């Protein structure tokens, strides 16, 4: 028995797989910029059908460099060990960016690049889960605040609009901007305050001339420019001709022939 115990004590500790060496913070930031055009991957590792835009790759790169520099990771000899201090990153982001939309954007700039850069993913290891959890928390919080915060805002909550759609149709008619806005705002997530800036165009090619555009024949809509200065991935919609949003727009566009989705100019709301 003593001999067995001695043999057990002499057994070497299990080896830990070596992680790929990390480039410098500056080199990582440049590498993140090259994610432009890569297929977007969801939380489960599956392609979303969309690609990473130039603005999104730039946002990832700038935020990543800003955050790791703020925590002094650019000056440490062991960058990987510094990146694994995700609790410090979480504390910094939550304290520096109380707005959940800004906070989730910063969390995503740490999490998203790791899906595409193996050495970065390996450096985080399991510690990245804390960043994911905090990002999801802020995503849910931002959505809740957007829906519930109606007080002084011009845009009503979705729940309130849904309750009033029938009344809006009865009061203003089914070819009114009020009714069109109510239907679209409750059907297409993301449109809310951007409807009046959407240009009605005559072809997919013409859509490229405007940041926010709608091509009715194909039911294609893109919202690329937002009221906030924060950079977001464009909203892309394809309206099905058999469903209410398309039918409501069809009747409205034929009746009014507006230049912009809710009227003839950007000031129309």
Per residue in 23-63, pLDDT (tens digit) is 899 999 999 999 999 998 876 778 888 899 888 899 999 99
> Do the Cβ atoms of 168 and 179 come closer than 8 Å?
yes
> Do the Cβ atoms of 124 and 84 come closer than 8 Å?
yes
Per residue in 81-132, pLDDT (tens digit) is 999 999 999 999 999 988 888 899 999 999 999 999 999 999 999 999 999 9
pLDDT band at 20 (very low <50, low <70, confident <90, very high): low
φ/ψ (deg, to 5) at 233: -65, 135
Q: Positive or negative, the Cα torsion across 70, 75, 80, 84?
A: negative
Q: Positive or negative, the Cα torsion across 28, 234, 207, 154?
A: negative
Exposure of 258 in the CB half-sphere (CA atoms within 13 A):
28
pLDDT for res 182 = 85
> Do the Cβ atoms of 169 and 197 come closer than 8 Å?
no
> Do the Cβ atoms of 115 and 45 come closer than 8 Å?
yes
Exposure of 246 in the CB half-sphere (CA atoms within 13 A):
14
* Residue with the larger pLDDT of the pair 122 and 153: 122
φ/ψ (deg, to 5) at 22: -90, 140
pLDDT for residue 219 is more than 60: yes
> Do the Cβ atoms of 112 and 94 come closer than 8 Å?
no
CA 201 – CA 140 distance, rounded (Å): 34
pLDDT for res 263 = 77
Percent of the chain with pLDDT over 90: 48
> Do the Cβ atoms of 264 and 252 come closer than 8 Å?
no
């Amino acid at each position: 028995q003593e001999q067995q115990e001695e043999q057990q004590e002499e057994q070497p500790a299990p080896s830990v797989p070596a992680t790929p060496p990390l480039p410098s913070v500056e080199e990582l930031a440049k590498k993140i910029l090259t994610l432009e055009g890569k297929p977007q991957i969801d939380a489960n590792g599956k392609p979303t059908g969309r690609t990473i835009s130039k603005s999104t790759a730039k946002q990832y790169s700038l935020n990543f460099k800003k955050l790791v520099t703020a925590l002094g990771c650019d000056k440490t000899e062991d960058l990987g060990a510094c990146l694994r201090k995700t609790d410090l990153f979480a504390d910094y982001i939550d304290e520096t960016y109380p707005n959940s939309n800004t906070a989730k954007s910063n969390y995503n700039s740490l999490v998203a690049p790791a899906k595409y850069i193996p050495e970065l993913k390996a450096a985080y290891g399991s510690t990245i889960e804390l960043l994911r959890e905090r990002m999801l928390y802020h995503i849910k919080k931002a959505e809740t605040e957007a829906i519930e915060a109606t007080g002084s805002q011009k845009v009503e909550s979705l729940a309130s609009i849904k309750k009033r759609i029938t009344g809006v149709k009865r009061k203003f008619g089914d070819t009114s901007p009020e009714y069109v806005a109510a239907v679209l705002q409750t059907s297409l997530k993301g449109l809310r305050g951007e409807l009046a800036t959407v240009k009605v165009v005559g072809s997919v090619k013409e859509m490229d001339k405007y940041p926010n555009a709608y091509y009715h024949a194909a039911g294609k809509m893109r919202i690329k420019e937002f009221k906030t200065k924060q950079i977001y991935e464009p909203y892309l919609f394809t309206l099905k001709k058999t469903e209410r949003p398309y039918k409501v727009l069809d009747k409205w566009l034929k009746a009014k022939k507006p230049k912009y989705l809710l009227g003839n100019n950007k000031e129309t709301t």
